[in-house]
Amino acid sequence: MEYIKIRFGKDLGHMHSRLQRTIDEMFRQVNPMLVLPQQTWRPQMDMYETPEEIIVVGEVSGVDKEDLEVELDHKAVRITGVRREIAPVSGMRYHLAEITYGRFEKILLLPVPINPEEVQASYTNGLLKITMAKRPREQVRQIPIEGE
């Protein structure tokens, strides 16, 4: 008798989103209009650290600068935006449709606290770059103990 191996994952939501993405990609290749109109896309992001700052770079080509928003606190950065679909042309017929359009939201937890007052963002050639100064480490202060 052969047994079927069953593995339980810790993050079923992640597995569901991968399955949904695969199904959406299959239907998008057949006909882009079969995918839900409010389809969200997930731009790729890099986050790296130098001794003085945290830097996030996001690939958001095709998004107007006016359609991008960056929010942050000392622990996380939230990047949202929308890539608008090109206007359909009369008689237009797709032969290939790989570009995803719509809204996106990405929340990145920062590896160290940052100073929200020292942040810069730039958008060049489809890349959003956010540079955040690290919060200086709190200096340890010794407290005298009173009493006997």
- How confident is the model over 80-118, as pLDDT tens digits? 999 998 888 888 888 888 888 899 999 899 999 888 888
Residue 55, pLDDT score: 96
Rounded to two decimals, the pTM is: 0.66
- For residues 121 and 129, the answer to whether their CB atoms sit within 8 Å is yes
Q: Which residue has the higher pLDDT, 83 or 4?
A: 83
Kindly report the average pLDDT of the chain as a whole number: 78
Residue 6, pLDDT score: 34
Burial of 146 (0-12, 13-18, 19+ CB in 10 A): exposed
Pairing of strands 127-134, 114-124: antiparallel
Distance CA 43, CA 127 (A): 10
CA-based nearest residue to 133, from 54, 41, 50: 54
32-50, pLDDT tens digit by residue?
555 544 456 889 999 999 9
**10 Å Cβ neighbour count for 25?**
13
56-82, pLDDT tens digit by residue?
999 999 999 989 999 888 788 889 999
Both tokens of 103, joined, read 């809204």
For tokens 């770059």, what's the residue? 129
Long-range contacts of 142-148 (CB under 8 A, 24+ apart): none
Residue 57, pLDDT score: 97
